[in-house]
Amino acid sequence: MSTDTEKPRSKHFLRRRQVLQASIAAAVPGGLLSCSGQSRGDALIVGGLPVTCNLTLPIACVARAAANAASPGAAPRFEYEYSKYNGWPEVKESLMAGRIQAAYMLAPLVMDLADRGIPLKIVSLGHRSGAVIMVRADSSYLNFRQLAGKLIAIPSRFAVDYLFLRKMLAAEGMTPKDVQIVEMAPPDMPAALYARAVDAYCTGEPFGASAQRAGYARVLRMTRDEWRNYICCVLTVREELITHNSALVQDLVDHVLGAGVWLDAKLENRNKAVAIAAGEKFFNQDPNIIQFVMDNPTDRVTYGDLRMIRAEFEDLMQLSLDAGTIKHPIAYEAYVDERFARIAKPAAIAL
């Protein structure tokens, strides 16, 4: 991930174009390619990636639309539209430029941007757990020592997936200098592994499950087993939206939290969520792949506990400081506005 404001990467980071060739794109399953959504009317555009860590967002959008249809005369009449992005750099640039006012973002990236003076605030979590480290099914890799010198893809150096990889390396007395790391958009990772352009990748679902279900990859480590209170994607809004329409922000948070409760309430709801998220308006993916994430195991990603816990964000910041992606401690209040989550009333999801 590169911008003019960022410092050069350390030598153990490679650039995505160094390992991705045009031929790799042909290998990715058709349902996993993504493109940006289009705006519609006066709906608030909320950016996100086609990853199941962002699953509460499509559910919140559809639930709000259903509530509007059920009560056409109700006011205020809020509306949300999901806009799909391929990678975190594109989401970041859109938020920074004000092209969108809200998005699911990487928590450490929001910390860094807020510290740089970009008017952004985290207002809700989006999920729990949901990251995996994948290797080829025919590889002999059972531990990270065996990956010494190998090429591992991550979504971004600001991604909590990267912090997860660092934790797993540290558990075996290793550092990122013992491997090669490349930043890559999650939808490209399964194809890169299939084409042997990378030896492993660490990302959110369903881009681990897609390769696992296809039979050419297996899980090396999963956050559900190693880091149960893992958080990564957070609902982030520009401060002017908070200033000018705090009621809309509150409604969006209520629907995201409601979506989380609904998703974890029963299997039937998750099955409905699969059908929604797989559609062209949202992830545009094979529903069987998203269903695989929901079922193998059922807590591969969880959504019901979306509490904003200060200590967890501060732990995340310390890990980011250790990783060098954040250069100094940043005040919690600089990047979090927790008032919406504090008074939230999770919306009843009727789908």
Domains and CATH numbers, the chain: 13-30+131-226 (3.40.190.10), 33-129+230-307+332-342 (3.40.190.10)
Of residues 251, 259, 337, the one with CA closest to residue 44: 251
Is 198 exposed, middle or buried (CB count within 10 Å of its CB: 0-12, 13-18, 19+)? buried
Whether the Cβ atoms of residue 301 and residue 52 lie closer than 8 Å to each other = yes
- Residue by residue, DSSP assigns 42-78 as TPEEEEE-SSGGGTHHHHHHHHHHHHHHHSTT-SS--
Tokens, residue 109: 């990236």
94: left (phi over 0), alpha (psi -120 to 50) or beta: alpha
Q: What is the pTM of this model?
A: 0.85
Contact 136, 217 (CB under 8 A): yes
Q: Which residues of the chain have pLDDT under 50?
A: 1-12, 16-40
pLDDT value for 235: 98
Put the strands of the sheet holding 102-106 in their side by side order: 80-84, 44-48, 102-106, 233-238, 120-125
Within 8 A by CB and 6+ apart from 31, the residues are: 278, 284, 285, 286, 289
Q: What is the structure's pLDDT at 14?
A: 53
Contact in structure between 209 and 192 (CB atoms under 8 Å) = no
Check residue 193 and give its pLDDT. 98
Question: Nearest 5°: CA angle at 231, between 65 and 111?
Answer: 95
State both tokens at 263. 């998703």
